[in-house]
Structure 1
Amino acid sequence: MNVEKPEPIPPPGMAAGALDGATDLSRSIAEVTSALRAAIDRLGGAIENARRPGQPLATVAAVTREAPLASLFVAFLLGIAVARRR
């Protein structure tokens, strides 16, 4: 009775490793893309709700249309205040 050892399976080559890495990267990019799309949809809905009459963005837009220079001055002062905190 003569039993032969099976030949070992060679490890995957460099090309197979590169393909596995590319597949993993592609899946990761797809997951990030879908998460970003969901976040953008939620943000878009929040902005749309805030633009309704009587909501904060609608009020800010109306004030900006009526007094653009005063709004610019307030935004400038707010920017200075934020920059100094850092």
Structure 2
Amino acid sequence: MADDLPSPPLVYEGLDPSPESKSTIEEVSDAVRGAANRVGDAIEKGKKPGMPLSILSNIAREAPLGSLLVAFLLGVAVARRR
């Protein structure tokens, strides 16, 4: 009769096996890939109509020389503060 009963499942009482560790290069590349995806998503959100990047691109399209002048003056002002 003892042979007819199913045996209980084996229980692993040790720690979970450690996952294979990634190399430093793989970890850094994953971090860079994630950061690039987040930046890309932020740029795409900013390009939607009414958002700041959309407004800036429209201004630059309508008055490219004026936009260049403003960017230059802003750069000079920031550079002199340092």
Q: TM-score, normalised by structure 2?
A: 0.71
Aligned to 2:62: 66
Show structure 2 runs of 5+ residues with no match.
Answer: 1-21
Whichever structure has more helix as a proportion of its residues is: 1
| Consecutive aligned runs of 4 or more in structure 1 exceeding 2 Å deviation | none
Show structure 1 runs of 5+ residues with no match.
Answer: 1-25
Post-superposition offset of 1:29 = 1.1
Q: TM-score, normalised by structure 1?
A: 0.68
Instruction: Please give the root-mean-square deviation of Cα atoms over the aligned residues, in Å.
Output: 1.1
Q: Secondary structure at the match of 1:75?
A: helix
> Whole-Å Cα distance in 1 between the matches of residues 81 and 58 of structure 2?
29
Q: How many residues align?
A: 61
Q: Secondary structure at the match of 2:23?
A: helix
> Whole-Å Cα distance in 1 between the matches of residues 32 and 81 of structure 2?
30
Query: How many percent of aligned residue pairs carry the same amino acid?
Result: 56
Q: For 1:1-86, what aligned pairs fall within 5 Å after superposition?
A: 27-86=23-82
